[in-house]
């Protein structure tokens, strides 16, 4: 056998053949030879995860003012309804296409799907900033959601590119980057929306940003996404392979890709006639020793995903917590910018951006420095439960924070926001780990696609339901709904806590099954 035509061939039962022209096999080879933390690939995961999160919630600090400027709401109290619909359109689009993107990622690889997703952010997010009416803004957010294929794909990639002992760190990077994106995105929206009003010395009223007051934050995020799109072409494996030999062959077809998918175009006996058994669910052997190609086996596994209860129960729990998370993100920004007479904080969009930026910095420190050790000590499920438990009393004090003023108000809301966002991201990270452990590699794209579709459906209800609930609370500041619910904002945060409690209950047996 030609040593330069194959990477590594291990003989014996339950051992693996490494095919020369398979990118997934090259990834496995790389993981065997490199036992350290793959910082290079973690940085790639960080960049892509941040790209998918930034546009998701960047509109929340200025959506109130955007709806007001569109003159579609008859009364000020009705702005929350339209803001919720606009926020939900993104999730509706993502729910309709996530499964398709997951299947495509399993069939054609992770990298092409990432490229499509990053390019779509640049196009549709820019057009959203150029919207001149409510229906154009709604359409652009919907299309942005339809082409948002990044999060599920990069989660699958993160669990495949690292050795098992580093998977918690890799998925923590996904959730941390995503969580920071969900914080920095609104911060960008808060700082840079309506720049003519905030920075009159820099921006003129007759300039492009005077005509389109919400374009600048969208453009900043779009330019970042274009940078990520370009960088995807220059994050190859070949620089890593060159240090280990046998990977400098110019005929290697995948040498310029960041790919983890197993694609076996040859029969195993064409590579080596002495191999009898292949490990891994992406290859299969019958009793006669005949090898079935990977893609033929993969097609038979898609139908089993819906019967995989550890996967489906984890997805349901993920949906409940995601509903609460996006409803909180929508309500927090609306609550913070609303007037004191409605129980809000009377913050400007810039002050909301400052709170979210501080929260992002605290979240970054916690997730990178503390979370991997905590997860290793307690396990992902315990971390998820603890995060949910602590979040409930924390949210209960939010209506009382609005009674404060001055420096004390800013200190209290910043501390509460840091703790709340840290708990939320820690919770989601644990769910990511459980979800990826519930399926083999060749099903992770489709599994994450299903989870993204289901999560997007739940999140589609979050902004719309949160906006409607917030508008109802503003109209009933003094009228009690029920004695236990209180009035106004107390109802809003009571409902958020109720959803959180339901998610917590579902993390216990017999509902949540472990693989």
221 Cβ neighbours under 8 A, 6+ residues apart: 54, 55, 58, 121, 125, 185, 188
pLDDT digits (tens, 9 = 90+) for 450-463: 887 887 787 777 76
- Tokens representing residue 57 in the block: 């919630």
State the Cα–Cα distance between residues 190 and 367, nearest whole angstrom.
24
Above 80 in pLDDT, residue 276? Answer: no
Task: Pinpoint the alpha helices (H) of 71-109.
Answer: 79-108
pLDDT digits (tens, 9 = 90+) for 191-248: 888 898 888 888 888 888 888 999 999 999 999 999 989 887 765 433 333 333 333 3
Q: Based on the number of CB atoms within 10 Å of its own CB, is 100 exposed (0-12), middle (13-18) or buried (19 or more)?
A: middle
In DSSP notation, 345-372 reads ----HHHHHHHHHHHHHHHHHHHHHTHH
- Sketch the domain layout of the chain as residue ranges: 39-237+303-506
Task: Pinpoint the alpha helices (H) of 379-488.
Answer: 380-396, 398-401, 406-437, 444-475
pLDDT recorded at residue 144: 93
Topology of domain 39-237+303-506 in CATH is Growth Hormone; Chain: A; (1.20.1250)
Above 80 in pLDDT, residue 358? Answer: yes
- Which among 51, 31, 32, 35 has a CA at the least distance from the CA of 43? 51
372 Cβ neighbours under 8 A, 6+ residues apart: 168, 169, 172
* Paired residues of 482 in beta bridges: 486
pLDDT recorded at residue 293: 43
pLDDT recorded at residue 88: 81
* Paired residues of 486 in beta bridges: 482
Supply the pTM of this predicted model.
0.65
Per this entry, what is the length of the chain? 515
- Which among 414, 356, 309, 389 has a CA at the least distance from the CA of 179? 356
Q: Based on the number of CB atoms within 10 Å of its own CB, is 273 exposed (0-12), middle (13-18) or buried (19 or more)?
A: exposed
Confidence of residue 264 (pLDDT cuts 50, 70, 90): low
Higher pLDDT, 285 or 300: 300
Pairing state between β 291-292 and 284-285: antiparallel
State the Cα–Cα distance between residues 105 and 443, nearest whole angstrom.
10
Above 50 in pLDDT, residue 159? Answer: yes
pLDDT recorded at residue 142: 93
Average pLDDT over every residue of 475-502: 69
Confidence of residue 143 (pLDDT cuts 50, 70, 90): very high
Highest mean pLDDT (candidates 17-31, 184-198, 290-304, 381-395)? 381-395
Q: Based on the number of CB atoms within 10 Å of its own CB, is 373 exposed (0-12), middle (13-18) or buried (19 or more)?
A: exposed
Average pLDDT over every residue of 316-345: 82
- Tokens representing residue 332 in the block: 């927090």
Higher pLDDT, 278 or 174: 174
């Amino acid at each position: 056998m030609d040593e330069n035509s194959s990477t590594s061939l291990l003989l014996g039962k339950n051992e693996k053949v490494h095919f020369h022209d398979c990118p997934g096999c090259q990834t496995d080879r790389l993981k065997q030879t490199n036992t350290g933390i793959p910082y290079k690939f973690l940085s790639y995961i960080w960049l892509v995860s941040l790209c998918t999160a930034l546009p998701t919630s960047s509109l929340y600090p200025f959506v109130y003012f955007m709806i007001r400027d569109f003159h579609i709401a008859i009364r000020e109290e009705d702005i929350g309804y339209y803001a919720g619909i606009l926020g939900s359109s993104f999730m509706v689009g993502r729910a309709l296409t996530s499964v398709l993107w997951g299947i495509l990622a399993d069939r054609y690889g992770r990298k092409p799907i990432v490229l499509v997703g990053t390019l779509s952010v640049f196009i549709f997010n820019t057009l959203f900033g150029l919207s001149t009416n409510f229906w154009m803004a709604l359409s652009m957010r919907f299309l942005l959601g339809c082409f948002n294929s990044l999060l599920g794909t990069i989660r699958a990639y993160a669990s495949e590119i690292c050795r098992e002992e580093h998977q918690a760190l890799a998925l923590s990077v996904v959730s941390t980057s995503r969580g920071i994106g969900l914080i920095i995105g609104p911060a960008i929206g808060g700082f840079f929306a309506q720049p003519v009003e905030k920075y009159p010395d820099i921006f003129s009223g007759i300039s492009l940003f005077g005509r389109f007051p919400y374009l600048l934050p969208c453009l900043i995020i779009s330019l970042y996404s274009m940078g990520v799109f370009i960088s995807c072409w220059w994050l190859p494996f070949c620089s890593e392979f060159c240090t280990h030999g046998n990977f400098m062959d110019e005929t290697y077809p995948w040498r310029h890709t960041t790919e983890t998918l197993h694609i076996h175009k040859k029969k195993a006996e064409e590579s080596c006639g002495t191999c009898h058994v292949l490990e891994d669910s992406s290859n299969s052997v019958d009793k006669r020793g005949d090898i079935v190609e990977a893609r033929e086996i993969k097609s038979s596994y898609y139908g089993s995903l819906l019967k995989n209860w550890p996967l489906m129960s984890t997805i349901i729990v993920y949906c409940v917590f995601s509903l609460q998370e996006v409803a909180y993100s929508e309500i927090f920004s609306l609550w913070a910018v609303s007037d004191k007479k409605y129980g809000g904080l009377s913050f400007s969009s810039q002050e909301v951006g400052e709170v979210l930026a501080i929260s992002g910095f605290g979240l970054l420190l916690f997730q990178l420095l503390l979370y991997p050790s905590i997860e290793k000590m307690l396990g992902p499920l315990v971390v998820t439960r603890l995060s949910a438990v602590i979040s409930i009393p924390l949210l209960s004090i939010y209506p009382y924070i609005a009674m404060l003023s001055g420096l004390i108000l800013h200190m209290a809301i910043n501390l509460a926001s840091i703790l709340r966002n840290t708990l939320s991201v820690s919770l989601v990270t644990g769910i990511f780990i459980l979800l990826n452990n519930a399926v083999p590699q060749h099903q992770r794209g489709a599994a994450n696609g299903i989870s993204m579709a289901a999560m997007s459906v739940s999140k589609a209800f979050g902004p719309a339901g949160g906006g409607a609930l917030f508008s109802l609370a503003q109209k009933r500041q003094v009228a009690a709904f029920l004695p236990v619910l209180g009035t106004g904002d107390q109802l809003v945060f009571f409902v958020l806590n109720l959803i959180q409690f339901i998610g917590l209950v579902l993390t216990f047996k017999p509902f949540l099954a472990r693989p």
